[in-house]
Amino acid sequence: MNASIIEIQSWKRSDKVKKCYTKLFSPMKEGQPTTYMAHILAKVWESKNVSLINIAYAIAICKTFLNPKIEHIQISETVINLKFNNILVSFHNISQIGKLFKC
């Protein structure tokens, strides 16, 4: 199904999408360490043997796709590479990754 640019922009500006975007790194339940992003990653990769590159790429895709400021859903290599590199650099120690996957 192809959506028009107006439909895509309307969807991305919806309260539901904005809420999803702002909650990506929030705990799913108060007092619990598991974030929505960690849950998504755990569903995508059931194995705990996932490379940091794969994790960074998946986070970059989610952040870009749900970002209401980016009015389209087609993601350019330039945009994803910038976000990917920023995320990869932010993984400055392995304990952050361990926290990300606590489910």
Judge contact between 24 and 63, C-beta under 8 A: yes
- Angle at the Cα of 30 from the Cα atoms of 29 and 35, rounded to 5 degrees: 50
Which position has the token pair 């590159």?
A: 53
Is pLDDT of 102 > 70?
no
pLDDT score at 36 = 93
State which residues form the domain around 43.
5-100
Q: Could you give the percent of the chain with pLDDT greater than 90?
A: 18
Q: What are phi and psi of 10, to 5 degrees?
A: -65, -45
Give the mean model confidence (pLDDT) for residues 13-30.
Answer: 93
pTM: 0.70
- Tally of domains within the chain: 1
